Amino acid sequence: MKKISNQFSLILTFILYFILLSGCDAINSIDATTDQMNTTIETFVESTATTTDRIETTAGSVETANQNYIDTIKSSLSEWGLGQTFISYVGNNRDYEWYIDQANTGLHSDANCGPSSVAMAALWANKDSSATPEAAREAFRPSGGWWYSDDINNALDLFAVDYEVTNLDTLYDLRAIIDSGSIAIVNNSMSYIPQNENENEHVNRFYSFDSGHYFIVKGYLLVDDKTYFEVYDPNNWGAVYADEAPKGKDRYFEATALMDSIENWYPYAVVIHGTTK
């Protein structure tokens, strides 16, 4: 911190010296120097910012746009099983509904986590998208069965969703996707996500299914000394909390458990950008 302060002082000293040398055209020089100062300071702050600085800045901008949601999280930490002390939240939310419960998505609902995740991703990218799990299933493997990576990619192409596939090595790779303003479709083994028997808590798996599964990662939450990823899990089947909110919507998976579940199944993320092709 002392090194950064010294660097900043040198920049300010240089700027003041430049103003004194500007002579008779002082007003124009001050205006130009002010612009230069702003640019220099912005560059300085960006180049010296720590990872924590960037997270707090991002979380602050999200908090401004989603204050009611943030307040709900803060007031519900203990009740939801998350912990005690709120640190920060980053979430790429929308002001319209885009969560999909895979139940009742057609003949193959029990295997429609992939089609449902693609439909959610398409709706997140474009609220006017015509994507549905039923349409995705009809286009790819209409006779049923699990989806694979090619099916996800082909369906995203079908619905003109802008995406890319990237490796996931650490939880910071997944956090970086969220920090960039994107969301991700991931494929994991739910056996690595602990099953939570508490009906009121919003943490980890709320059902017995424990095999391969697709869902959306849309945010992350730092509480106490833990990171939780916020997901839209389509494997809901009508399950709701006391307030009637779907249990698969805005569910929180412990980051270490989620990364284990991904690394031991399919260590990639399909990154969804907020644009269409």
Q: Does the pLDDT at position 23 exceed 80?
A: no
At residue 68, what is the residue type? N
The span from the CA of 249 to the CA of 269, in Å, is: 19
Domain boundaries of the chain, sorted by first residue: 2-48, 61-276
Per-residue pLDDT band for 130 (boundaries 50, 70, 90) equals very high
Determine contact, residues 174/263, Cβ cutoff 8 Å: no
**In which residue are the tokens 């002390």 written?**
85
CB under 8 Å to 258, separation ≥6 — which residues? Answer: 171, 174, 186, 188, 192, 193, 217, 229
Helices 26-48/2-20 angle, 10° precision? 160
Q: Does the pLDDT at position 59 exceed 70?
A: no
Q: Does the pLDDT at position 52 exceed 70?
A: no
pLDDT for 65 equals 53
- What is the value of pTM for the model shown? 0.77
H or E, element range at 221 = strand 212-223
Q: Between residues 75 and 29, which one has the greater pLDDT?
A: 75
The CATH superfamily holding the domain 61-276 is Cysteine proteinases (3.90.70.10)
The span from the CA of 91 to the CA of 68, in Å, is: 13
Q: Does the pLDDT at position 231 exceed 60?
A: yes
The span from the CA of 16 to the CA of 25, in Å, is: 15
